[in-house]
Amino acid sequence: MLSKSLMLVLRFARRLGVRVVLMALLAVLAALFAPLFTGFIPDSLTERFGSEAVLPILNILAASLLTVTTFSLGVMVSAFQAASSQGTPRVYRVLMQDGTTQTVLATFVSGFLFSLTALVMFNAGFYSEAAAVVVFGLTILTILSIIVAILRWIDLLSHLGSMDHTLWQVEDAANESLQTIAGSPNLGAHRITEKVPPPPGAHPVCSKQSGYVQFIDLAGLNDALSEQDGTLWITTMPGKYVLRGQPMGHVSGTDQDLADRICEFVTLGRERTMEQDPRFGLVVLSEIAARAMSPGVNDPGTAIDVVHRLKKLLWEYSQSLSAQDAAEKPDAEEVLYPRIHLSATTAMDLVDDAYGVIIRDAAGRVEVMAQILHALCDLASVKGAMGDAARVEIAYARDHAEAAISNEADLAKVRSLAPVEQD
């Protein structure tokens, strides 16, 4: 499980500006340190690939790449905003982490800064003829990287901002979050149940600010609790919104000082994230389906597409859980952090997040309800909690369809897909 510091580093590294700055810094350093390699350049190359050969190329790159970068950035922002307006505003944060887009923009910026820095160094007389050969080789490498970036950019532009691209991005992010949780159920802590309540006299752990619980450093918490022989009950799972001063859990077997320090291991923010919140990806996909079902959009095909994507995510999540149970812990969950008890994300939570909103918005649309019921029936075949949750959701979907559909033929179709005995 990630520590808080590593999580912050990874989150920082996924930002667009970070990749651009790093590649731009490498380009500038390459231009500045080019004279250090002049001792490896034979005299025969200085006559062929001197300053007269490289300066025209650098001028072309410096003049064109700034325009290309500005245009590409405008295209990216427009495409992401269009995707947000078609789907849900929450997808913007997912799309901004697209690695291809970040690498392409970083390549254009670094190429511009390299050519501009090299021109400045030439005009300042910093480069000798041997250094010009080194710069020529670096320029060729820059051109090759720009060509690759342009080809990737052209391929990406063919679907950037489209609904298909948006859905694939969100689905991949949601699947990664679900598989992470499947690999470590309950994040490696004890599952809170009614049989294990906090003991009398336990100190409350109160939030020091308002916001969404984004990340809990369970490894750090477990180590701190072990030092003082304490036990922690956390009642706020990642994804839950807490208010300043509101209890997030209780700690026993230690003093109030540790209870105050526990907040340092919990990351709060203004937005939900997917590092430890598998429900958020399902919510984003269901919001896209709900927008598609709105009268202003009226796109049931997108809603049906989302229904099948959600089915795939929940199916593969349940299969991963079953495979791990059979291979590693057939009798009980593996507990990595024995001093922490954590509220569990249930299968019912996941199924309801995935289909609850779509069922309510599509209750009167037979074509969508039919696909929802097909998906839920497939999930109902899964043994265990996922199958039980799917059967409950089938009854919920049938009740909404019965209330919203007036045509008897349509009702008969729904009833055939969701017979009463599946309650």
For residues 194 and 142, state if they share a domain. no
Mean pLDDT of the 305-333 span: 78
Dihedral sign of CA atoms 272, 275, 277, 280 in order: positive
For residues 115 and 212, state if they share a domain. no
Mean pLDDT of the 48-65 span: 83
In a domain, 97, yes or no: yes
Evaluate if residue 195 carries a pLDDT over 60. no
For residues 294 and 224, state if they share a domain. no
Q: How far apart (Å, rounded) are the C-alpha atoms in residues 71 and 94?
A: 22
How confident is the model over 213-264, as pLDDT tens digits? 999 989 888 988 888 888 888 888 899 999 999 988 888 877 667 777 888 8
Evaluate if residue 43 carries a pLDDT over 70. no
For residues 123 and 264, state if they share a domain. no
Identify whether the C-beta of residue 317 lies closer than 8 Å to the C-beta of residue 176: no
For residues 205 and 290, state if they share a domain. no
Mean pLDDT of the 305-323 span: 91
Consecutive H or E run containing 301: helix 300-327
| pLDDT score, position 171 | 93
For residues 205 and 313, state if they share a domain. no
Can you give the residue range of the structural domain that contains 243?
187-269
Evaluate if residue 62 carries a pLDDT over 50. yes
In a domain, 48, yes or no: yes
In a domain, 114, yes or no: yes
The residue out of 229, 247, 269 marking a domain boundary is 269
Identify whether the C-beta of residue 247 lies closer than 8 Å to the C-beta of residue 204: yes
For residues 298 and 253, state if they share a domain. no
- pTM for the whole thing? 0.83
For residues 8 and 79, state if they share a domain. yes
For residues 313 and 382, state if they share a domain. yes
In a domain, 137, yes or no: yes
| pLDDT score, position 49 | 66
| pLDDT score, position 392 | 93
Output the domain CATH number for residue 213.
3.90.1170.30
For residues 279 and 255, state if they share a domain. no
| pLDDT score, position 39 | 66
Evaluate if residue 121 carries a pLDDT over 80. yes
Q: How far apart (Å, rounded) are the C-alpha atoms in residues 315 and 382?
A: 8
| Number of domain units in the chain | 3
Range with the largest mean pLDDT of 54-58, 386-390, 405-409: 386-390
For residues 84 and 142, state if they share a domain. yes
For residues 195 and 259, state if they share a domain. yes
